[in-house]
Amino acid sequence: MPHTHGEHHTRKSKSLPEEADLLPADREDSPLTQLIRKYLNEEEVQLVWQAYRYAEHAHAGQTRKTGEPYITHPISVACILARLHLDLPTLLAALLHDVVEDTHVNSAEIAELFGKQVGDLVDGLTKLDKVELQTATQAQAENFRKMLLAMSQDVRVILVKLADRLHNMQTLDAMRPEKQKRIARETLDIYAPIANRLGLNPIYHELEDLSFKYLYPNRHRVIDKAIRTARGNRKEVIGKILEAIQNQLTQYQIAFDVQGREKHLHSIYKKMSEKSLKLSQISDIYGFRVIVKDTASCYLALGALHALYKPIPGRFKDYIAIPKANGYQSLHTTLFGPFGTPIEVQIRSEEMHNIADAGVAAHWLYKTTDAHLTKLQQQTHQWLQRLVEIQTESDDSYEFLEHFKVDLFPDEVYVFTPKGNIMALPRGSTAVDFAYAVHTDVGNSCVAVKINNELAPLRSEMRNGDHVEIITAPLAKPNPAWLNYVVTGKARSHIRHYLKTVKVEESAQLGERMLNIALRAMHIEPQDISDKQWQKVMNDYSTKTRQTILTDIGLGKRNSLMVAHQLLAHPAESDDKSTKTLDTITIRGSEGMAVQFAQCCRPIPGDPILGFINKDKGLVIHTHDCPAIRKFKLDPEKWLDVEWDADQKKLFKVNLRITVSNERGMLAKIAATIASAESNIDNVSVEDSDGSQYSNVNFTVQVHNRVHLADLIRNLRKIQQVVRINRVKGTQAEQRIQ
């Protein structure tokens, strides 16, 4: 995993000195000391100081990109965790989490000095910098895998990692802009959703807002300024609403605490993006949070507020009766306030508020036997166990990371099982996802589903409140087509696992049938394929047996049509002319995934073309004069002769660069001409101006064939302001074999 604090000037490793000076963290007035003295006893405080001195000594001479001594980082991480009142081993691991990684100290030495529990936590946090991995992406995926598996053994690993990432994001200014964006993107895609999934709301929102700041600095600045302005303008209105809420709750004799709550910048931006709204159209930028003593008071307060201001229909959510998967509980309602101002209010008990802030960390923060907290721990444990399950069935780190990301969807739907239990699934989940969520065996053998007592297709998406019943059959098996619409990591991994572990013999038989069908469709009998032809194809695929190729076809790893074409691309030792005429493959453009058109040259009917067999993508079509063909030395035996079908009705994409004079309305003129030629515009971009009176405009247009393209270019040249038109084949970024 990329390390966000950057390179260090020096790396030293020393044993703990017998008499270390009292350093800043040891002082009574230091933030860490003040935080830990609130809940740790004196002996535990001394152990924290000992770990601090050990870490400070190990990191001696190292500095962060900010120029500060490196020890400021582990202290800050420990402070974040101390605010959550996490236990002693977690705080020790926070102080020592980079010692093994950045010095010559090993985890065994840590375990010997501070105990096995701390050693295991530090080990789970250590990067795999000693493992040789092929690419940075592979290293990142493998590190996530190790971190998440360590987390499944002990959730405190991820709590330290989240605090580590939060402090790194807080000090990201010292990094280069490109590194800031990479780290911010990783944080937004992985770490913020994990914090949300674990119910750590303050950390989740701060990670999102910091990521937004570095990914889109201008948008962040504009929204931040607008919010500050709006806050000042609405101060008087907000004050009146707050006073009215307080008076109303007092009349109902409810013990309460009311807090103002401002929507986070990233939440506002996300809402603007998803719903195409202007900032002025976002009504719930500012809201109120009412905290009462117990659950009964929550509903009483809701009634009191609905009596004060009318509720907006459809804007009420009861997360107390049906908590979110991360344990979050609250009543959410939106009211018509004075002057027509919508008011968003959250109502929760003190305990719900504590869990909303601490999430799974509440286990350490509040030593309680509360049933809801126990259920939250069980849900978290089940989620972590699902990660272990998926890991055992995923062959590589990329696949594991893909499944994991899917499971981090924040939006959820809540459905009921036949017994009335509530299940939370990611939004967009289908009946198959539900079946696998119930149990792996139910998913593997499902054949139909009843949604609200009516039969429905297995691909039906779940909606909030659906009653779902899965119908199974003992001989049923997973269908590969399910992979096209399942969304949960568990379902996807189990389906893939089944397809990968189907008996080789059965897969080979299926693959042989599929290949025979493909050959007969080309008027060739399977027995007419010679051993020499098979040997040639086996060499191309780097396999030793024909059985392997047939098995791959049966498992969906290879396309039967492509294998058939490649078998015929190597003529048999026969003079039969009917076989030789099939060496040229007719391209219709409707073959779907079986045939792909190279992005570098974008061939269209009428262009002289060649087909290249790519092991990952099947048959890729290039033009004869494609720059990629000239640039790379390719095995000529992997090229196939291909030709266009005479009856061609499909639209194909072509890149055009048009040089025009800089006049108002030019884009509109060109677009109108393209439309009148019965062509579609797929993409358009204008190159940066060089200060001259001419500009280059790049279009990707859709045409039927070369004749259609010629007509289009002829019409464009009639525009007086058009100086030059070129069809573009290949760019610096795309001149590679697709």
What distance in Å separates the CA atoms of residue 678 and residue 656, rounded to the nearest whole number?
Answer: 16
Which residues 6+ apart lie within 8 Å of 41 measured at CB?
none
Beta bridge partners of 450: 455, 469
The amino acid occupying position 135 is T
Size of the chain, expressed as the number of residues it contains = 738
Helical axes 42-58 vs 88-96, angle rounded to 10° = 10
Residue 115 zone, left/alpha/beta (φ > 0; ψ -120 to 50; rest): left
Backbone dihedral angles phi then psi of residue 200, each to the nearest 5 degrees = -90, 75
| DSSP three-state, residue 88 | helix
State the DSSP H helix or E strand holding residue 157, giving kind and residue range, or none if neither.
helix 156-170
Strand partners, 271: none
Q: Is 102 a catalytic residue?
A: yes
Beta bridge partners of 595: 619
Helix extents (H) in 541-688? 546-554, 560-569, 577-580, 627-631, 666-676
Q: Six-digit token pair at 258?
A: 């009311």
> What does DSSP say about strands 342-349 and 286-292: parallel, antiparallel, or unpaired?
parallel
Compute the Cα dihedral for 108, 109, 114, 115 and give only its sign.
positive
CB within 8 Å of 374: residues ≥ 6 apart: none
- Residue owning tokens 């098979």: 534
Q: Please say whether the beta carbons of 156 and 74 come within 8 A.
A: no
SS3 650: coil
101 is catalytic: yes
Please report the sign of the dihedral spanned by the C-alpha atoms of residue 275, residue 277, residue 282, residue 283.
negative
List 102, 123, 206, 540, catalytic entry: 102
Helix (H/G/I), strand (E/B), else coil: 585: strand
Contact 197, 324 (CB under 8 A): no
- Cα separation, 218 vs 72, in Å, equals 30
Cα 166 to Cα 212: distance, rounded to the nearest angstrom: 13
Burial code (b: 16+ CB inside 10 Å, e: under 16) for 52-72 equals bbbbbbbbeebbbbbeebbbb
- Residues 6 or more apart whose Cβ sits within 8 Å of residue 665: none
DSSP summary character for residue 34: H
User: What is the Cα–Cα distance from 732 to 714, expressed in whole angstroms?
Assistant: 28
Phi, psi of 734 (to 5 degrees): -110, 0
Cα–Cα distance measured from residue 429 to residue 436, given in angstroms and rounded to the nearest whole number: 11
Half-sphere exposure of 137 (CA within 13 A, CB side): 5
DSSP for 375-416? Answer: HHHHHHHHHHHHHHHHHHH-SSHHHHHHHHHHTT-S-EEEEE
* CB neighbour class for 729 (10 Å; exposed up to 12, middle 13-18, buried from 19): buried
The residue annotated as part of the active site, out of 44, 101, 412, 711, is 101
CB-CB contact of 331 with 348 (8 Å): yes
Structure tokens at 607: 């262009």
Angle, vertex CA 687, rays to CA 681 and CA 693, nearest 5: 110
For every residue of 266-304, which 3-state class applies, written as one string? HHHHHHHHHHCCCHHHCCCCEEEEEEECCHHHHHHHHHH
The CA distances from residue 299 to 254, 307, 449, in Å, are 11, 12, 36
- Planar angle of CA 217, 219, 221, nearest 5 degrees: 65
CA-to-CA distance for 201 and 162, rounded, in angstroms?
Answer: 12
Catalytic residues: 101-102
